[in-house]
Structure 1
Amino acid sequence: MTNQNVVISEAKTGLAVATAVAVSESNFYSPAMPKPLVAANGYFPRKKSIKKLETNGGGGARINAFIDSMRASSPTRRASETEDQKSWIIHHPSALSMFEDIMNASEGKEIVVFLDYDGTLSPIVEDPDRAFMTNEMREAVRDVAKYFPTAIVSGRCRAKVHNFVKLSELYYAGSHGLDIQRPTKGHKKQRKGNQSVFCQPAREFLPMIEEVHKILLEKMKFIPGAKVENNKFCLSVHFRCVDERIWGELGEQVREVLKNYPTLRLSQGRKVLEIRPAIKWDKGSALEFLLESLGYDKSNNVLPVYIGDDRTDEDAFKVLRKRGQGLGILVSKAPKETKASYSLQEPSEVMYFLKRLAEWKKSSLPRH
């Protein structure tokens, strides 16, 4: 993107797509940043690669691959302490154990914090409408936002995640970054402008998404435990409470609906199928857009920190690697294929990391 003051919410989708940022092919860390051990391709390889989800085509082999992919992204059992897990931790060390080294290497850089919501700030729960964060976590996020520009980047509807977090000093990027709002309380690094919603690159898809939402509600009535969530610019079909034996039926029902909507694409996360406009925009694009809006798009003195737990967060981790600057942290107890280079096991560790980050900044400020 070249125009830092562009208001995408008023542009046509074609113009919005053109604003997607082209990122460089440099290494993930700047020379001063401590590097964890990584494989040649940037992540610890899994024994079996997962085929990408496709919305077209058929056949038993494709259906079986689709179901296998759903299972692989939605493990039903916690991984045991195996040699593979120990090796994965070596390649993706704890951001807490590396905290001092990371902060020492960040000297002279402006930190910008990006946080996923579900599985990162709140636990994964059976009912997505009850994914509440604790008051202690909210205070940790509030403290971080006092010192650093902070954004929540979620697949949730922006209004819904805002209602969960309840902090007006944050940026909110809902619908996987398709709906971005500025803080209503100004941050010193916030760009001037009186529009709180300033990035909606898929507005023209809203009638189509609402239409598909109604169709899926009818289809999912016949699959016990399935839940369809309207996240405004995307749809989520949750199968956390669906018997695993009928995951294939659920997936095929969704795929069948989308055959009539070729401009929508299907992806998946932890026991959820995501339906989004097929435009070049994702959480990584949202990260780039926010960095540009803060004036950091061409800066070498910025350290973006992105913390997330799901497959959709990989788009942001990839952007950090290509930028050659930043810190990607995957929240997971089990080994996963990832472009992140550090890890935290669960939301409680995320909270502790955020607390340490705020305390580190506070202690580094001059005393009056």
Structure 2
Amino acid sequence: MTKHGAVVVPEDAVVAVAAGRHFSFPPPRTAGAGDLCKKLAAQQIDLGAAVMGSWLDSMKASSPRHRLMAPAVDAEHDEWMEKHPSALGRFEAVAAAAKGKRIVVFLDYDGTLSPIVEDPDRAVMTDEMRDAVRGVAARFPTAIVSGRCLDKVFSFVRLEELYYAGSHGMDIQGPTAASTHHGPTTTPKGEEESVLCQPAREFLPMIGEAYAALAAKVEAIPGAKVENNKFCLSVHFRCVDERRWGAVAEQVRAVLRDYPRLRLTQGRKVLEIRPTIKWDKGEALRFLLSALGFSSGDGANDGDDAFPIYIGDDRTDEDAFRVLRARGQGAGILVSRFPKDTCASFSLRDPSEVKDFLRKLVTCAAA
């Protein structure tokens, strides 16, 4: 009988190293990869007027107009794929590393479970993707970790058996429906308690004020949209003429001058305003692992039997990928068709491949 949360793999599966000059798995805790992760962690937008030009450059760099290319002949793409091979193509290496351990699945939403669309309110997932996520959640503890507010991402996913971490992990809630293989966490006295974490609650009034100010400021810029994600704000400029990006940046800078306890980070054609607390998707991953009874990955008790798999497409997901590298156990999977700096070990091209990977996990667990 297959144990819930465990994966069955062939005895002769490759365990640690897949072919390729640069690829090694599990990923190293430090070395060259550590330098890259530190560089990505340090990327934050400076709001000073003297660096306005570099800020716009950063906005453009995070939203490149990728040229069409043939991966088979593009040297840069080939080299990147050697370092971050397809999680589908190397599935047996992932499964072998997870053998005998408890898989825990973490999924970003936009660009991972649903395609990136011009209108963020229309980023719906397909029924096929929902079925794939449902199948994974029936076998492994599964969490959605998104920059969206918790209520919004739940309205898209509509699966009560999942953990949800909205607002980049600043609003965490446990399953509201019973699961066949994991239930509520317990207190030291053995009493059941719901999983709930809101480390930025004190910032709610401030974020509400900043939202009203930002919405009024960018209203005159065609295509700009401010989304209130409860514990953070998202300023979308995907539909803004690139010649007006500077205007968006200036309006955001003007508002944040009045809120020194809020900071600015950046995603794919979106500016994120968050509280200045040490909390991100990586911290959410640590919290959820701890709530599930595993090591949080802080180095104290990393020898547990958890094998986290985190799949995401955005710069904000790098915080979670860094946690997995620090653990030295687990798999970070970046969703991207094009080369980009990342601390992830594997890659998938698009949500369709994410769906195939999730289905493969289910099939492997049922074997």
Q: Normalised by the shorter chain, which TM-score bucket?
A: 0.7 to 0.9
Q: Deviation digits for residues 203-232 of structure 1, max 9, x if unmatched?
A: 010000000000011001111100000000
Q: Per the alignment, do residues 126 and 92 of structure 1 end up closer, same or farther by CA in structure 2, a change over 3 Å counting? A: same
Give the C-alpha shift of residue 76 in structure 1.
Answer: 2.6
- Between stretches 271-280 and 193-202, larger displacement belongs to 193-202
1:52 corresponds to 2:35: no
- Structure 1 CA distance for aligned equivalents of residues 93 and 48 of structure 2: 49
* More off after superposition, 81-90 vs 118-127: 81-90
State whether structure 2 residue 127 is matched by structure 1 residue 144. no
Take 1:336 and 1:161, find their aligned partners in 2: how far apart are those partners?
A: 26
Q: CA deviation at 1:249?
A: 1.5
Matched residue count? 329
**Per-residue Cα deviation, 1:159-198 (whole angstroms, up to 9, x for no partner):** 0000000000000000000000000123333313665461
> Which aligned pairs between 1:69-148 and structure 2 lie closer than 5 A?
69-78=58-67, 80-81=69-70, 82-148=74-140
Q: Following TM superposition, by how much is the alpha carbon of 1:52 offset from its aligned partner in structure 2, in angstroms?
A: 3.1
Task: Call closer, same or farther: CA 1:327–1:271 in 2, change over 3 Å.
Answer: same
SS at match of 1:328: strand
Residue ranges of structure 2 left out of the alignment (5+ in a row): 1-13, 25-30, 296-300
Cα distance, 1:160–1:129 mapped onto 2, change above 3 Å: same
Q: Provide the rounded CA distance (Å) in 2 between the counterparts of 1:69 and 1:43.
A: 22
> Among 330, 352, 366, which residue is 1:362 paired with?
366
SS in 1 for 2:164: strand
Cα–Cα, structure 1 residues 68 and 74, in superposed 2: closer, same or farther, change >3 Å? same
Give me the TM-score of the superposition, normalised by structure 1: 0.85
Is this contact kept in 2: 1:120–1:307, CA < 8 A? yes
The whole-number CA distance in structure 2 between the counterparts of 1:296 and 1:229 is: 34
What letter corresponds to residue 135 of structure 1 in structure 2? D
The offset of 1:321, in angstroms, is 0.4
Contact kept, 8 Å, 1:111 with 1:303, in 2: the verdict is yes
Structure 1 pair 78/43, CA: closer, same or farther in 2 (3 Å)? farther
CA–CA distance in structure 2, aligned partners of residues 321 and 329 of structure 1: 12
Equivalence for 1:331: 335
| Secondary structure of residue in 1 paired with 2:53 | helix
Per-residue Cα deviation, 1:308-331 (whole angstroms, up to 9, x for no partner):
000000000000001111100000
Partner of 2:263: 265
Equivalent in 219, 222, 225 of residue 223 of structure 2? 225
Q: Distance in 1 between matches of 2:144 and 2:168?
A: 10
State the match for 1:252 in structure 2: 250
Q: Which moved more, 1:216-225 or 1:81-90?
A: 81-90
Contact kept, 8 Å, 2:15 with 2:96, in 1: the verdict is: no
**Residues 1:165 and 2:148 are matched in the alignment:** no
Write out aligned runs for 1:297-316 (5 A): 297=295, 298=301, 299-316=303-320
Output the TM-score relative to the length of structure 2: 0.85
Kindly state the Cα deviation for residue 254 of structure 1 after the two structures are TM-superposed.
0.3
Partner of 1:204: 202
In structure 2, the residue matched to 1:22 is: none
Letter in 2 for 1:54: I
Compare relative contact order (CA 8 Å, sep 6+) and give the higher one, 1 or 2.
1
> Contact conserved, 1:55 with 1:255, CA < 8 A, in 2?
no
The structural deviation recorded for 1:80 is: 2.2
The amino acid that maps onto 2:229 is N
Gaps of 5+ in 1: 1-30, 364-368
- Asked if structure 2 preserves the Cα contact closer than 8 Å seen for 1:157 and 1:230, the reply is yes
CA contact 2:195–2:291 (8 Å) conserved in 1: no
